[in-house]
Structure 1
Amino acid sequence: MPADRFQLLTDTAIDVLAAGGMRGLTHRAVDRRAALPEGTTSAYFRTRKALIEAVVRRIAELDRADLRAGQLPDRAGGDAPALTDVESTAASIAAVLDQWMDEGRNRTLARYACLLEATHHPEIRTILSYGDDSRAQSAAMLAAAGARDPRRAGDHLVACIDGLLFDRLAGAGARTAPHPGTEANRADLTAAVSTLLRGFIAAP
């Protein structure tokens, strides 16, 4: 499949998911939103399962690109990322989170929809396991900073950061936090992530 057609269909499917949830994701819905002739999406992705798997791969690809752009760990292996400046690291994480709440909001909502779908389809969970790499790198980063149980702390750090993101999109934080895409939001996120980092480094 041509890369541009794959991107068009999967990016459109991400928007469909964000707008209507997993129930709203159909080949026809993607065709309509992309203003393509009916049957175009099904010609490339013969089944709904194939479409969902393609969407998950696209989400993973875009997430990894954002993490690399923000100079954050997105894969296991290599040298442990340094944590020499907690505030700087927290600000980098906050910038990515803010992006995923703002211009990347649809993708983040689609990711959560896919995660819920993965509870019924383990093969999707396998594709989404790229998040395991972030946990491994977080553990390495915290180990280098002197955390006593870095693997456990790395798991908890990623879970807390993901919870922070979810709260800002779907929880009470969506009503009370600063507006995404603003300096105030990035500053607020930086403060929260900094507190997490310091807490996990100092945890017994």
Structure 2
Amino acid sequence: MPTDRFAVLTDAAINVLADLGMRGLTHRAVDARAGLPEGTTSAYFRTRKALIEAVVRRLADLDRADLVAGRLPAGADTPTGTVDDLDALAGSIAAVLDHWMSTARNRTLARYACLLEATHHPELRTILAHGESSRAQSRAMLAALGASDPEQAGDHLVACIDGLLFDRLAGAGARTAPPPGTAQNRADLAVAVATLLRAFAGRPPAPRRTGV
């Protein structure tokens, strides 16, 4: 468990959002979830907007750490040609997605709650900015894979992967896909991601496997 107060409070807020949604996010609810005296959260984050923005900063930091741990190209400074194995890259991305669907499921649900809140409250638009790092990373990966227009392809790839993640958590995929946190789920995600990478990088589809 994190020891600094910012991490303790924002992690508690993330869990409140995942369990109760945006309407359930109050200073008092965060205090209770964190096991801290009433008034602690409001002492650090005076307004609800400040609390939500702090949650987004925490989500961005944790997501960035996951991407680094997954050994994915870090950003726009990734040299072209440094991604040698598309399928291995797809496997790494699939592992991160599976983590966000299982161990870090609450974080993913909280992120969606924050993004939806921002569509109704323009003053929270800064929430949307935390996705820029993943877009830069996607553009770098596709540039390294030889995409003719990595800027556009990178943005499209992020949109498709976001859709895949949402489908597995809240859509029909939640009922039909392998259970999150399993080797089967990671393998299934890797197939989907590899297909997307090939399409956006302008590479031919993988050859079909034939039975013996």
**Same topology, TM > 0.5:** yes
Q: Which residue is equivalent to 1:4?
A: 4
Aligned pair count? Answer: 203
> What is the CA-CA distance between 1:64 and the residue it aligns to?
0.5
Aligned to 1:17: 17
TM-score (norm 1): 0.91
CA distance in 1, matches of 2:96, 2:176: 20
- 3-state secondary structure, aligned to 1:129: helix
CA displacement, residues 40-83 of structure 1 (integer Å, 9 cap, x when unaligned): 11111111111111111000010001011001245443535732
Whole-Å separation in 2 of the counterparts to 1:162 and 1:185 = 16
Segments of structure 2 that go 5 or more residues without pairing to the other structure are 205-212
- Rounded Cα–Cα distance in structure 2 between residues aligned with 1:87 and 1:112: 28
- Confirm whether residue 111 of structure 1 aligns to residue 118 of structure 2: no
What CA deviation, in whole Å up to 9, does each residue of 1:135-177 have, x standing for no partner? Answer: 2232232233222222111111111011100100010111111
Shift in Å at residue 36 of structure 1? Answer: 1.7
For residues 164 and 148 of structure 1, what CA distance do their matches in structure 2 show?
Answer: 24
Matching residue of 1:163: 163
1:75-154 equivalences under 5 Å are 75-80=75-80, 82-122=82-122, 124-154=124-154
Q: Whole-Å Cα distance in 1 between the matches of residues 80 and 9 of structure 2? A: 36
CA distance in 1, matches of 2:38, 2:144: 54
- Distance verdict in 2 for CA 1:157–1:57, change over 3 Å: same
Give the Å deviation of 1:122: 4.3
Q: For structure 1, which segment, 156-165 or 112-121, has the greater mean C-alpha deviation from structure 2 after superposition?
A: 112-121
1:74-125 Cα deviation digits (max 9, x unpaired): 5443535732111100000000000000010000000011111122344543
**What TM-score do you get using the length of structure 2 for normalisation?**
0.88
**Structure 1 residues 106 and 80, CA, compared in 2 at 3 Å: closer, same or farther?**
farther
Is the contact between residue 79 and residue 144 of structure 2 (CA under 8 Å) also seen in structure 1?
A: no
8 Å Cα contact 1:90/1:194 also seen in 2: yes
Aligned mates of 2:129, 2:73 — CA distance in 1: 14
> Which residue of the partner structure matches residue 202 of structure 2?
202
Question: Percent of counterpart pairs with the same letter?
Answer: 74
| Residue equivalent to 1:178 | 178
**In 2 relative to 1, CA 39–102 (structure 1 residues): closer, same or farther, beyond 3 Å?**
same
Structure 1: segments with no counterpart, 5+ residues: none
Task: Quickly say closer, same or farther: Cα 1:65–1:180, change in 2 above 3 A.
Answer: same
Distance 1:133 1:89 in 2: 18
The 3-state SS of whatever aligns with 1:148 is coil
CA RMSD of superposed structures (Å): 2.1
Deviation at 1:35, TM superposition (A): 2.0
Q: Answer whether contact 1:16 1:29 (CA < 8 A) is retained.
A: yes
